[in-house]
């Protein structure tokens, strides 16, 4: 998610660079119409960038940080699971010892050892069961809490985008009214470009490859 | 005769008006007839030659070229040979038709002149192209002549199609248009010669002749410029070796003179030939060039960033949330990524980036020419200087001067147009960029608003929405925190258990030596690797001596393990709290210390004096062996029965007997029959080996 926002910011910044570089080009000084077009473009791009930054900030606050917080629960969860594993190992070990003694013939020392082992086993078993139960209770709760947890994040993602693109649409709408012909389709634009390019190529100073 | 005729005042040609001067009039008539005849002959010649010309060209195109085309020879460059001969043919045919129509007219000379005027531009443009490529065509013919097979093919075609001409080479035909266009001027001149200046058609004829002469001159100029442009406008990609190979004294001399001139210019020693107009043009061009390259770079980086943005697809990560806002977001982001964004990128590419690339390519030619012009200018100045000194120049120098002039003229004439068109193109590209962005924004907006409408909180105005989101998130934050806590409380491991008696004694000794709050329990097995490192088992108690090692490393602690001392990793220690219940045992244990220590050297004496087992009331006691009560104070035991030890000694204080309660009964049993079972057995510490005491009766 973070990469996505970073790329978004980078995109916007390079858009601004386009227009500001053009503005700094001395070409603008020579042709007033060109100059005003480039200036309009530049203001538009800069405004876009500020909106984009706002959008990214919002997303940061409402999505990325909650995500981080959510994932910070996981380490402690993992620790708890590991502990449970450990106790499980102990439990199994002692259990097998008890069983071993139970299988041997019931002589005095064996019985003593058996008793001893059973005694050892008991608290471990209780401990394990307690941990297990706790985890069994808590983990599903945690898991299901994520739904409600993330709901606002996603809503805000969408909402932020709506805001941003409304602004963008408005800004560029104004811009096109100002300087461009909005009605052309791509093919028409392509044709126009091609026409100009072939005009250029017709000049003999341009190399024909 | 013609000269005498021109002395006379112009009169109408046909009727001799002045009677009387019969002789001179007759002469005049004769002259007039002669000139008229010549004129008519000239006009006829014009028409006839035109007709035959058209005919030959027709042959060339339809027969020869078609034949060669049919042969499908891959090495034959028909395009290069014949270039735009179709256009030439077309124009010439039309011209011929009109010519023939004009001749039958009365005012034929006027008509002819008018016709030439009408056609001159068309002719110029068509012949211009043909003549410019004529040189190339000749080169091609040469190269084909060297190839025997092709030559054979060509000859064969010529012989089959046009045997009457006896031509042995294509160049015979190819040269015809070139010759023709210059012939027009000559023919017209001939007609003009044979027309008296008083003739009404004379001015028209004259202007027509001039026009055709102009056409020829223009075609030549065009050809020269084309050659110069072609020669210089490609930036040659030479390897270093090729460049070195090109160096010879001549080129080195040339370059050094240029360089020295350049220095002189810069230093102000020699005045630069200033051409304000050219400089303006060049400056504008350079601005344009830099602007275009910069724009291209920026667009490139923009597109790259867009691509990177598309690559990172967070919406595809699985969260396993089935409903609600998540699905919508997924749908939205999916749509955006799959369709709208790529479409935007494609369109941007097509309408903005590609033209930019082509424009940058187009810039290279002029840039190269400009460079060359500077070089040639330097040469030119050199030569000028020398010319002013010596008064004459060699043929090469003359050629060099002309080249410079040609380049200069070319640039001057074409740069303004170039600049203008390029600027327009740039403007168009920017327009497209803006329009595209708008459309993209519109599409995305549609999608997002559609999704938004389905969200529960869409109706909220923006600030309230954000506030609500913030509150919810804060709540969730606390909730998460609670979870964290819960998980962490699970953590403490169950190591708080009683110890074996030996352990306990060690602990007590440690405690007595150090303070109780310095006790630590080993959480997991430690194996010492370096010298002075201890090897300890899990559960052992040690006392902290020093919180760091000699090097100051706080992760290694010096501990006392109740005998050996050494270093252990601090992470494997956990603070240990002494169990309060162990305290009262201290008195009991202390005197038995010695007994414990001597245990191993004991051989077990007969009962009833067995070595005293340490019986602690806190630990579980089990009957190790069966015992039959022999007196009412004794109680029977079954092996393995748990018993509760009430007193570890009998009434007389003898340790041999213990008062126990078992099965609800109380009584004395031999202490040796009792086995103490600690609830937790430390690994590696084996219980002292017991052998059953021999039963004594």
| Secondary structure element (H or E) that encloses residue B565, with its range | strand B565-569
* Helix, strand, coil shares, percent, chain B, to 5: 65, 10, 30
Among the listed residues B101, B95, B175, B97, the one whose alpha carbon sits nearest the alpha carbon of residue B134: B175
Nearest residue, CB atoms, B455 vs list A18, A112, A155:
A155
CB atoms B451 and A158 under 8 Å:
yes
Partner residues linked to B621 by β-bridges: B643, B676
* Helix, strand, coil shares, percent, chain A, to 5: 90, 0, 10
Among the listed residues A143, A145, A142, A5, the one whose alpha carbon sits nearest the alpha carbon of residue A65: A5
Nearest residue, CB atoms, B428 vs list A25, A112, A192:
A192
Q: Which residues of A touch B477 (CB under 8 A)?
A: 66, 69
Nearest residue, CB atoms, B325 vs list A18, A58, A154:
A154
DSSP state of B61: I
The pLDDT value recorded for residue B79 is 73
CB atoms B329 and A158 under 8 Å:
yes
CB atoms B484 and A73 under 8 Å:
yes
CB atoms B468 and A152 under 8 Å:
yes
In the stretch 6-35 of chain A, residues with CB closer than 8 A to chain B read 7-8, 10-11, 14-15, 17-18, 21-22, 25-27, 30-31, 33-34
CB atoms B620 and A26 under 8 Å:
no
| Secondary structure element (H or E) that encloses residue B574, with its range | strand B573-575
Among the listed residues A188, A167, A6, the one whose alpha carbon sits nearest the alpha carbon of residue B311: A6
Partner residues linked to A58 by β-bridges: none
Superfamily of domain B23-233, CATH level 4: Dbl homology (DH) domain (1.20.900.10)
The pLDDT value recorded for residue B454 is 65
Q: Which residues of A touch B422 (CB under 8 A)?
A: 200
**What's the rounded Cα separation, in Å, for the pair B521 and B499?**
11
- What's the topology of domain B501-575? SH3 type barrels. (2.30.30)
Residue B635, min C-alpha distance to chain A (Å): 18
- What's the topology of domain A1-180? Substrate Binding Domain Of Dnak; Chain:A; Domain 2 (1.20.1270)
Residues contacting A68, CB < 8 A, separation 6+: none
**What's the rounded Cα separation, in Å, for the pair B87 and B69?**
18
Q: Which residues of A touch B486 (CB under 8 A)?
A: 134, 138
CB atoms A123 and B425 under 8 Å:
no
Partner residues linked to B675 by β-bridges: B622
Nearest CA in chain A to B454: A155
**What's the rounded Cα separation, in Å, for the pair B278 and B288?**
15
| Secondary structure element (H or E) that encloses residue B659, with its range | strand B657-662
| Secondary structure element (H or E) that encloses residue A44, with its range | helix A32-59
State whether CATH 2.30.30.40 applies to domain B620-675. yes
CB atoms A206 and B362 under 8 Å:
yes
CB atoms B410 and A107 under 8 Å:
no
Nearest residue, CB atoms, A154 vs list B299, B326, B473:
B326
Distances B520 to B23, B79, B517, B534, B685 between C-alpha atoms, Å:
155, 98, 8, 14, 18
- Six token digits for residue B355: 């033209």
Tell me if A192 sits within 8 A of B428, measured CB to CB.
yes
CB atoms B319 and A146 under 8 Å:
yes
Find which of B473, B479, B488, B680 to mutate to test the A interface (most A CBs within 10 Å of its CB).
B473
Tell me if B140 sits within 8 A of B78, measured CB to CB.
no
pLDDT under 50 in chain A at which residues? 209
Residue B553, min C-alpha distance to chain A (Å): 26
Residue B612, min C-alpha distance to chain A (Å): 17
CB pairs under 8 A between A and B: 317
Nearest residue, CB atoms, B493 vs list A14, A73, A86:
A86
Helices and strands counted in chain A (H then E): 6, 0
Residue pLDDT, tens place only, A49-81: 777 777 777 777 777 777 777 777 777 778 878
**What's the rounded Cα separation, in Å, for the pair A45 and B445?**
18
Nearest residue, CB atoms, A172 vs list B313, B437, B473:
B437
Nearest residue, CB atoms, A34 vs list B423, B493, B690:
B423
Q: Which residues of A touch B319 (CB under 8 A)?
A: 146, 150
Between vectors from CA B395 to CA B392 and to CA B401, what angle results, nearest 5°?
A: 80
DSSP string, A54-107: HHHHHHIIIIIHHHHHHHHHHHHHHHHHHHHHHHHHHHHHHHHHHHHHHHS---
**What's the rounded Cα separation, in Å, for the pair B231 and B208?**
34
pLDDT under 50 in chain B at which residues? 1-16, 318, 320-323, 491-499, 579-618, 679-697
Nearest CA in chain B to A30: B284
**What's the rounded Cα separation, in Å, for the pair B327 and B644?**
66
Question: Where exactly are the structural domains of chain A?
Answer: 1-180
CB atoms B351 and A190 under 8 Å:
yes
Q: Does A97 touch chain B (CB under 8 A)?
A: no
Q: Which residues of B touch A124 (CB under 8 A)?
A: 494
Nearest residue, CB atoms, B469 vs list A146, A156, A184:
A156
Nearest CA in chain B to A209: B234
Bond before B608 cis per omega within 30 degrees: yes
Q: Does A178 touch chain B (CB under 8 A)?
A: no
**What's the rounded Cα separation, in Å, for the pair B167 and B173?**
8
Residue A15, min C-alpha distance to chain B (Å): 6
Residues contacting A78, CB < 8 A, separation 6+: none
Find which of A158, A175, A176 to mutate to test the B interface (most B CBs within 10 Å of its CB).
A158
Q: Which residues of B touch A106 (CB under 8 A)?
A: 639-640
Residue A78, min C-alpha distance to chain B (Å): 9
CB atoms A169 and B430 under 8 Å:
no
> How many C-beta neighbours within 10 Å does residue A46 have?
14
CB atoms A14 and B430 under 8 Å:
no
Q: Does A157 touch chain B (CB under 8 A)?
A: yes
Between vectors from CA B359 to CA B353 and to CA B365, what angle results, nearest 5°?
A: 150
- Six token digits for residue B652: 């007389």
CB atoms B448 and A161 under 8 Å:
yes
Q: Which residues of A touch B328 (CB under 8 A)?
A: 154, 158
The pLDDT value recorded for residue B582 is 39
Tell me if B269 sits within 8 A of B314, measured CB to CB.
no
**What's the rounded Cα separation, in Å, for the pair B238 and B241?**
8
Residue A58, min C-alpha distance to chain B (Å): 9
Q: Does A138 touch chain B (CB under 8 A)?
A: yes
Residue B252, min C-alpha distance to chain A (Å): 27
The pLDDT value recorded for residue B6 is 42
Nearest residue, CB atoms, A197 vs list B358, B423, B677:
B358
Half-sphere exposure of B500 (CA within 13 A, CB side): 18
CB atoms B312 and A27 under 8 Å:
no
Residue A120, min C-alpha distance to chain B (Å): 5
DSSP state of B662: E
Nearest CA in chain A to B298: A18
- What's the topology of domain B257-454? Substrate Binding Domain Of Dnak; Chain:A; Domain 2 (1.20.1270)
């Amino acid at each position: 998610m973070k990469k996505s926002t970073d790329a978004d910011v980078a995109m916007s910044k390079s858009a601004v660079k386009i227009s500001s570089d053009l503005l700094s080009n001395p070409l603008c000084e020579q042709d007033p119409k060109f100059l005003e077009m480039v200036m309009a473009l530049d203001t538009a791009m800069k405004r876009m960038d500020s909106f984009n930054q706002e959008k990214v900030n919002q997303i940061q606050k409402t999505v990325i940080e909650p995500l981080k917080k959510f994932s910070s629960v996981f380490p402690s969860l993992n620790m708890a699971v590991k502990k449970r594993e450990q106790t499980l190992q102990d439990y199994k070990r002692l259990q097998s010892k008890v069983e071993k003694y139970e299988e041997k013939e019931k002589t005095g020392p064996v019985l003593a050892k058996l008793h001893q082992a059973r005694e050892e086993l008991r608290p471990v078993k209780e401990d394990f069961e307690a941990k297990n139960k706790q985890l069994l209770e808590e983990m599903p709760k945690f898991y299901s809490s994520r739904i409600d947890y993330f709901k606002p994040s996603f809503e805000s993602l969408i909402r932020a985008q709506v805001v941003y693109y409304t602004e963008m649409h408005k800004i560029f709408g104004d811009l096109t009214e100002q300087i461009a012909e909005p009605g052309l389709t791509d093919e028409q634009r392509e044709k126009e470009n091609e026409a100009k390019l072939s005009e250029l190529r017709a000049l003999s100073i341009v190399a024909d490859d | 005769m013609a000269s005498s005729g021109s002395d006379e005042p112009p009169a109408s040609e046909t009727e001799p008006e002045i009677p009387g001067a019969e002789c001179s009039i007759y002469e005049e008539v004769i002259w007039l007839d002669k000139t008229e005849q010549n004129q008519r002959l000239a006009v006829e010649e014009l028409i006839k030659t035109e007709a035959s010309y058209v005919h030959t060209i027709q042959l060339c195109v339809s027969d020869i070229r078609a034949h060669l085309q049919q042969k499908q020879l891959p090495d034959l460059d028909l395009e290069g040979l014949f270039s735009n001969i179709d256009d030439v043919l077309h124009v010439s045919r039309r011209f011929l038709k009109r010519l023939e129509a004009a001749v039958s007219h009365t005012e034929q000379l006027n008509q002819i002149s008018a016709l030439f005027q009408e056609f001159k531009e068309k002719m110029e443009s068509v012949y211009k192209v043909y003549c410019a490529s004529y040189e190339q065509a000749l080169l091609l013919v040469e190269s084909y002549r060297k190839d025997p097979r092709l030559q054979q093919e060509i000859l064969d075609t010529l012989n089959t199609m046009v045997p009457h001409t006896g031509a042995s080479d294509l160049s015979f035909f190819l040269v015809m248009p070139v010759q023709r266009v210059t012939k027009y001027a000559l023919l017209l001149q001939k007609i003009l010669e044979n027309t008296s200046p008083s003739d009404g058609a004379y001015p028209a004829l004259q202007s027509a002749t001039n026009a055709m002469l102009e056409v020829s001159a223009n075609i030549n100029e065009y050809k020269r410029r084309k050659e110069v442009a072609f020669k210089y406008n490609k930036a040659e990609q030479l390897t270093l070796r090729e460049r070195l190979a090109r160096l010879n004294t001549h080129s080195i001399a040339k370059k050094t003179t240029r360089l020295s001139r350049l220095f002189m210019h810069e230093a102000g020693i020699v005045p630069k030939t200033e051409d304000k107009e050219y400089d303006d043009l060049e400056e504008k061009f350079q601005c344009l060039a830099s602007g275009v390259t910069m724009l291209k770079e920026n667009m490139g980086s923009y597109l790259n960033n867009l691509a990177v943005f598309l690559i990172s697809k967070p919406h595809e990560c699985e969260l396993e949330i089935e409903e609600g806002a998540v699905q919508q977001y997924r749908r939205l982001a999916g749509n955006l990524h799959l369709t709208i964004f790529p479409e935007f990128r494609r369109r941007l590419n097509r309408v903005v980036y590609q033209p930019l690339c082509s424009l940058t390519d187009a810039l290279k030619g002029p840039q190269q020419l400009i460079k060359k012009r500077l070089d040639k200018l330097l040469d030119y100045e050199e030569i000028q200087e020398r010319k002013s000194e010596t008064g004459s120049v060699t043929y090469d120098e003359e050629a060099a001067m002309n080249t410079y002039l040609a380049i200069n003229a070319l640039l001057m004439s074409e740069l303004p147009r170039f600049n203008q068109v390029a600027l327009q193109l740039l403007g168009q590209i920017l327009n497209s960029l803006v329009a595209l962005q708008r459309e993209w924004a519109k599409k995305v907006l549609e999608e997002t608003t559609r999704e938004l409408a389905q969200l529960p909180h869409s109706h909220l105005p923006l600030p309230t929405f954000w506030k609500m989101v913030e509150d919810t998130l804060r709540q969730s934050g606390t909730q998460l925190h609670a979870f964290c806590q819960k998980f962490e409380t699970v953590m403490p491991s169950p190591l708080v258990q009683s110890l074996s008696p030996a352990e306990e004694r060690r602990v007590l000794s440690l405690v007595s030596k150090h303070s109780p709050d310095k006790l630590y329990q080993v959480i997991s097995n430690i194996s010492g690797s370096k010298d002075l490192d201890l090897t300890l088992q899990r559960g052992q108690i040690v006392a902290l001596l020093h919180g760091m090692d000699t090097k100051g490393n706080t992760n290694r602690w010096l501990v006392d393990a109740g005998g050996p001392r050494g270093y252990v990793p601090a992470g494997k220690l956990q603070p240990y709290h002494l169990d309060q219940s162990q305290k009262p045992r201290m008195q009991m244990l202390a005197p038995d210390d010695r007994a414990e220590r001597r245990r191993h050297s004991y051989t077990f004496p007969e009962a009833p004096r067995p070595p005293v087992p340490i019986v602690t009331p806190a630990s579980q006691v089990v009957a190790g062996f069966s015992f039959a009560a022999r007196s009412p104070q004794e109680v029977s035991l079954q092996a393995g029965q748990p018993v509760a030890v009430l007193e570890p000694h009998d009434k007389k204080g003898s340790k041999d007997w213990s008062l126990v309660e078992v099965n609800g009964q109380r009584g004395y049993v031999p202490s040796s029959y009792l086995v103490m079972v600690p609830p937790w057995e430390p690994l590696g510490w084996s219980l002292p080996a017991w052998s059953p005491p021999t039963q004594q009766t």
